[in-house]
Amino acid sequence: MKPATGERGLWAWAVYDWANAGFCTLVQTFVFAAYFTRSVAADQASGTALWGNTMGIAGLFIGIGGPLMGALADASGRRKPWIGAFTMLCITATALLWFIQPSTNFILPALILVCVGTIGSEYANIFYNAMLPDLTERSRMGRWSGWGWGMGYAGGLMCLLLALYGFVDRNAFFSLPRTNAEHVRATMLLSAIWYMGFSLPLFFRTPDTPHTGRSPRQAVKNAIRQLYQSLVRIRQYKSIAIFLLARMLYNDGLTTMFAFGGIYAAGTFGMQPDEVILFGIGLNVTAGLGAAFFAWIDDKTGPKTVIMGALLGLTGCGLAMLTVKTKSMFWIFGLLLGIFVGPAQASSRTWLAHAAPPELRAQMFGLFALSGKLTSFAGPLFVGWLTLASGSQRIGLTAVIAFFATGLALMTFVPRVKNTNNTVPGRDDNA
């Protein structure tokens, strides 16, 4: 396909990953997650279980609604209005987390806001991911997908640095009271402002897919019919079905790891908020470097090779992180693990962008979201239940390794895709 935009529009698209990182790093992983389990919940074990249940509920909503959203985008044509609406939903929920004080009285509103923000962020990403194949040639999708993920990790790094030295550190630029954790809660406002500001280039610089001319009512009806037909005819796309099943499993591992990374660092190794943020900064550095480097390998060898290599690295480093006893060794293997996080995600997006039929692209990315979220409640729930039953976060997080290993095994049955401009390898006759 001839690219619909130039380099400026593509970089504006990639910067959205940078913007979304404000929510992923500060809310979902390193700051608010740890703050909730240590300061809002009654204790860390129950806080871990509550956080897992909430991520599971959010994943269920995303899994059920994601394919319909993708089908609706295919029926209506345009992506950016949907991205804008769900981005604002996430931003609003994030900003309201400022009001969550360190008290068990705020457990329910905290969990509701995190759930809503997660749904908004993930729904926005369905339409965002679906834009990529219309913006560049198939032969360059791997590098742009990887660069987008790399931008996300770079954005996460900068956001964590601002959070640490602007609010959380003892010598922070903004000296806020610490009696009600204002210094931590203020980072939620930073996250919301970050997301809003850096999402704007996408809306001003990146062209959208033309509107199909269908009314909203027609688009909804066509979306439901199209989704039903695609699920019925999934036999025509067996390679995509196997891939989505594999991704469902290893993405459950990634989602669970993100949801509990800061919680594990704080609970098992006793890291304070500033230490957790520093660990997050280091992890974003290695993850960004990994995503950028493997983006070239994706275009050279294909996304399947990158995904399988990344899953091997995630499994090995993950096992090491769960067995080491010292904080220094946790740092070493945690930073090594970060190298493989970005490639697993970016090359998954590339594989589907190559394999999905053009007329069903957004719908397939809806199924992509479904594969990432349909059972995403399972990982957090297993971790929460295992942690409660054993009293050990180490034992609870063994579920992550099981998801990585099972996904890797299924990926061996997924065919390679070609990065030529006229190949649709998702169908059996082209696989």
The predicted pLDDT at position 256 comes to 79
The mean pLDDT value for 22-34 works out to 87
Residue 2 within any structural domain of the chain: no
The predicted pLDDT at position 369 comes to 65
Residue 1 within any structural domain of the chain: no
The predicted pLDDT at position 86 comes to 95
- Cα 151 from Cα 264, distance rounded (Å): 26
- Cα 397 from Cα 190, distance rounded (Å): 30
- pLDDT band at residue 55 under the 50/70/90 scheme: confident
pTM beyond cutoff 0.75: no
The mean pLDDT value for 198-211 works out to 87
The mean pLDDT value for 255-282 works out to 77
> What does each C-alpha distance from 218 to 215, 359, 368, 374, 411 come to in angstroms?
5, 17, 24, 27, 38
Calculate the average pLDDT of the chain: 81
CATH number for the domain spanning 222: value is 1.20.1250.20
Residue 239 within any structural domain of the chain: yes
The mean pLDDT value for 292-296 works out to 77
The predicted pLDDT at position 59 comes to 77
- Cα 24 from Cα 288, distance rounded (Å): 14
> What does each C-alpha distance from 280 to 16, 26, 80, 236, 298 come to in angstroms?
20, 9, 30, 42, 26
| Identity at 358, one-letter amino acid code | P
The mean pLDDT value for 74-85 works out to 82
Neighbours of 430 (CB within 10 A): 13
The predicted pLDDT at position 323 comes to 86
The mean pLDDT value for 283-287 works out to 80
Nearest to 126 by CA among 56, 170, 72: 72
The predicted pLDDT at position 302 comes to 85
Higher pLDDT, 189 or 74: 189
Residue 386 within any structural domain of the chain: yes
Q: What share of the chain in percent tops pLDDT 90?
A: 23
Higher pLDDT, 188 or 364: 188
Which range, of 40-54, 211-225, 261-275, 305-319, averages the lowest pLDDT? 211-225
Which range, of 1-5, 6-10, 126-130, 370-374, averages the lowest pLDDT? 1-5
The mean pLDDT value for 253-278 works out to 77
- Cα 292 from Cα 153, distance rounded (Å): 10
Q: Which domain holds residue 20?
A: 7-430
Which range, of 169-173, 365-369, 419-423, averages the lowest pLDDT? 419-423
Q: Which residues of 162-190 are buried (b: 16+ CB within 10 A; e: fewer)?
A: bbbebbbeeebeeebeeeebebbbbbbbb
Residue 85 within any structural domain of the chain: yes
Number of domains within the chain: 1
The predicted pLDDT at position 2 comes to 43
Residue 131 within any structural domain of the chain: yes
The predicted pLDDT at position 366 comes to 65
**Measured at the alpha carbon of residue 106, what is the angle toward residues 101 and 110, in degrees to the nearest 5?**
95
The mean pLDDT value for 413-430 works out to 57
